[in-house]
Amino acid sequence: MNLPAHVRLVEVGPRDGLQNEARVIAVADKVRLVDDLGDAGLGAIEVGSFVSPRWVPQMAGSAEVFAAIRRAPGVTYSALTPNLQGFEQAMAAGVREVAVFAAASEAFSQRNINCSIAASLQRFEPVLHAARAQGVAVRGYVSCVLGCPYEGEIDPQQVAAVAGQLYDMGCYEISLGDTIGVGTAGSTRHLLEVVARRVPRAQLAGHFHDTYGQALANVYASLLEGIAVFDSSVAGLGGCPYAKGATGNLASEDLVYLLHGLGIHTGIDLPLLAAAGQRISAVLERRNGSRVGQALHGNAL
């Protein structure tokens, strides 16, 4: 068994997690969450997004959050930018890494960003161009890689095609999102075998949702396929506003517990991470979505 010695986590809770919350979350609570995550040793934190506030009202305060966070040395604080307008807002907020997001399904692309896959890639061109000119790193997402809430099954070749185009355009890493959490260890391995013919494994990341309870199994399958970067969300926060059934993301605490149990280094302090998850769950007045968080802190509201 040839597992990576080190795995990099990309913490998406403050963005992918909180974007889904209907009620207003105070900027101070978002800032506290990001700072707690930095203290817990996360090296990459997705803080917010510069999208239309009409589409995702919860992310409207992202510039204020960026202005108030304590930037720990060596930590990357990134934001989602769907177009040049969002990119420019991100630059004004002092963001130094952004992510563009495409989908492997046409229907999801329309619902999420109001355009076809091809049109979305065209929109990303000027973002990548401007980012290159300013020395800003760009990550690429592909959503619905193992199934779509509107189209059902997704052909792995289609995922490989979109991921490959993002890679060719200059995204340094492509995160493959099982947005509705329908993947299994078998379908995950098959997908990665196909996509890895187009994008090197070292440039791929896994982004799993736990809707069917398969996220950790899918991480393990990905580790066996040589993937060493995973997105996760503290306390299992989140989902996607344009994907019904996309319940929580894989909880960061559960991911770290798995990885440390395998002897894989992450640089993350699990008790501090679990405390951060417990704190934001209390703020949101919801049950902690991490099983490890529940085990360490009890599962009361």
Q: Which residues are catalytic?
A: 240
Using rule CB under 6 A, residue 83 touches ligand HMG? yes
Q: Which is nearer to ligand HMG, 56 or 160 (CB)?
A: 56
Q: Are strands 8-11 and 229-232 parallel, antiparallel or unpaired?
A: parallel
Using rule CB under 6 A, residue 211 touches ligand HMG? no
CA distance 47 to 79: 6
Using rule CB under 6 A, residue 222 touches ligand HMG? no
Task: Provide the minimum distance between the beta carbon of 12 and Mg ion in the complex, in angstroms, as a whole number.
Answer: 6
Q: Which of 1, 3, 9 is nearest to 266 (CA)?
A: 9
CA distance 25 to 282: 12
Helix (DSSP H) and strand (DSSP E) numbers for the chain = 11, 8
Fill in the amino acid letter for 272.
L
The partner in contact with residue 214, picked from ligand HMG, Mg ion, none with C-beta cut-offs of 5 to 8 angstroms by kind, is: none
What residue is closest to ligand HMG based on CB? Answer: 177
The partner in contact with residue 236, picked from Mg ion, ligand HMG, none with C-beta cut-offs of 5 to 8 angstroms by kind, is: none
Q: Please report, as residue ranges, which positions from 18 to 47 form the binding site for ligand HMG (by CB under 6 A).
A: 19
Using rule CB under 6 A, residue 184 touches ligand HMG? no
Contact 80, 69 (CB under 8 A): no
The partner in contact with residue 113, picked from Mg ion, ligand HMG, none with C-beta cut-offs of 5 to 8 angstroms by kind, is: ligand HMG
Q: Please report, as residue ranges, which positions from 49 to 78 form the binding site for ligand HMG (by CB under 6 A).
A: 49-52, 55-56
Using rule CB under 6 A, residue 150 touches ligand HMG? no
Using rule CB under 6 A, residue 240 touches ligand HMG? yes
The partner in contact with residue 50, picked from ligand HMG, Mg ion, none with C-beta cut-offs of 5 to 8 angstroms by kind, is: ligand HMG
The partner in contact with residue 143, picked from Mg ion, ligand HMG, none with C-beta cut-offs of 5 to 8 angstroms by kind, is: ligand HMG
Q: Name the site residues for Mg ion (rule: CB under 5 A).
A: 16, 249
Task: Provide the minimum distance between the beta carbon of 267 and ligand HMG in the complex, in angstroms, as a whole number.
Answer: 23
Angle (nearest 5°) at CA 250 between 58 and 170? 75
Angle (nearest 5°) at CA 40 between 285 and 216? 75
Task: Provide the minimum distance between the beta carbon of 292 and ligand HMG in the complex, in angstroms, as a whole number.
Answer: 21
Query: Contact with ligand HMG (CB under 6 A): which of 62, 112, 266, 278?
Result: 112
Side-chain half-sphere CA neighbours of 250 within 13 A:
29
Contact 7, 42 (CB under 8 A): no
Query: Contact with ligand HMG (CB under 6 A): which of 85, 110, 184, 203?
Result: 85
Q: Which is nearer to Mg ion, 11 or 16 (CB)?
A: 16
Which of 259-267's residues contact partners 24+ apart within 8 Å by CB, and which partners?
Answer: 259/7, 262/3, 262/223, 264/3, 264/4, 264/5, 264/6, 264/7, 264/223, 265/5, 265/6, 265/7, 266/6, 266/7, 266/8, 266/9, 266/41, 267/6, 267/41, 267/43
CA torsion angle 113 115 117 120 (round to 10): -70
The partner in contact with residue 141, picked from Mg ion, ligand HMG, none with C-beta cut-offs of 5 to 8 angstroms by kind, is: ligand HMG
Using rule CB under 6 A, residue 227 touches ligand HMG? no
- The pair of structure tokens assigned to 153 is 């099954």
Q: Please report, as residue ranges, which positions from 160 to 179 form the binding site for ligand HMG (by CB under 6 A).
A: 177, 179
Helices 185-195 and 215-224 pack at an angle, to 10 degrees, of: 40
- Which chain residues interact with ligand HMG by CB under 6 A? 16, 19, 49-52, 55-56, 80, 82-83, 85-86, 101, 112-114, 141, 143, 177, 179, 207, 240-242
